């Protein structure tokens, strides 16, 4: 009924009737959330945001974060911007923010305050190699191995052989084991294996 217009016609014993001026009815609406913020997982030192969609009259937003000791109001600065808007931006997020919980409270002209559902921030550690594989020399038919140490969560490994001018993925054979682990083992290498070049691609199941 917002913006409905009304008037009254007054008549009596004597004519003519009299018509009043029109008046407008304004109906303010209470805050109502139509799209909730959702959980997000990102890589460390990247950007993300939490967003809510709401309707109502003269809405005011305030985001809150729970770092492990209860919710506290988010203030703009550092990682955060948009703390009092429908979109909370996070920039260059460190891994220490992993597990933080966010929600937003929305007030307006009419009560009550609308509080969103909570959304969790996941921050994954970027993959890095802390110990590179090294050249290895063995006698013919003696087992050889190459090892890599890497840092990260949910790591995957893919060993490759340089042959024919391209890198190709190794598969388990009588000569190769550990092709998808941190340690590649080469059994019974013949002289034809000499000077073979190997490398490993370290990745993650999910993101980084």
Residue 205 pLDDT exceeds 70: no
Q: Which phi and psi angles does 183 have, rounded to 5°?
A: -125, 120
Q: Which residue has the higher pLDDT, 207 or 159?
A: 159
Q: For the chain, which domains are there?
A: 32-124 (2.60.40.10), 128-204 (2.60.40.10)
Q: Rounded mean pLDDT of 193-202?
A: 97
Residue 1 pLDDT exceeds 70: yes
Residue 158 pLDDT exceeds 70: yes
Identify whether the C-beta of residue 182 lies closer than 8 Å to the C-beta of residue 99.
Answer: no
Strands 48-51 and 87-90: antiparallel
pLDDT at residue 125 in the model: 87
Q: Rounded mean pLDDT of 126-132?
A: 92
Q: Which pLDDT tens digit goes with each residue over 35-52?
A: 999 999 999 999 999 999
Strand order in the sheet with 48-51: 48-51, 87-90, 80-81
170 — pLDDT class (breaks 50, 70, 90): very high
pLDDT at residue 7 in the model: 98
207 — pLDDT class (breaks 50, 70, 90): low
pLDDT at residue 54 in the model: 98
Provide, rounded to the nearest whole percent, the portion of the chain with pLDDT above 90.
91
pLDDT at residue 143 in the model: 97
Angle at CA of residue 191, ends 186 and 192, nearest 5°: 80
């Amino acid at each position: 009924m917002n913006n409905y217009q009304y008037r009254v016609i007054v008549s009596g014993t004597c004519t003519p009737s009299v018509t009043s001026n029109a008046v407008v009815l304004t109906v303010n609406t209470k805050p109502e959330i139509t799209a909730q913020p959702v959980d997000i997982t990102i890589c460390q030192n990247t950007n993300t945001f939490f967003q809510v969609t709401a309707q109502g009259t003269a809405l005011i937003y305030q985001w809150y974060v729970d770092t492990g000791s209860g919710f506290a109001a988010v203030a703009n600065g550092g990682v955060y911007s948009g703390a009092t808007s429908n979109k909370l931006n996070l920039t260059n997020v460190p891994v220490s923010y992993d597990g933080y919980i966010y929600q937003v409270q929305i007030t307006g002209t009419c009560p009550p305050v609308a509080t969103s559902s909570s959304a969790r921030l996941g921050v994954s550690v970027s993959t890095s190699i802390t110990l590179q594989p090294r050249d290895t020399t063995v006698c013919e038919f003696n087992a050889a191995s190459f090892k890599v140490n890497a840092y990260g969560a949910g790591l995957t490994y893919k060993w490759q052989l340089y042959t024919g001018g391209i890198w190709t993925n190794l598969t388990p054979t009588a000569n190769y084991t550990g092709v998808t682990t941190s340690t590649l083992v080469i059994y019974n290498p013949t002289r034809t294996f000499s000077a073979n070049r190997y490398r490993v691609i370290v990745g993650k199941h999910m993101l980084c």
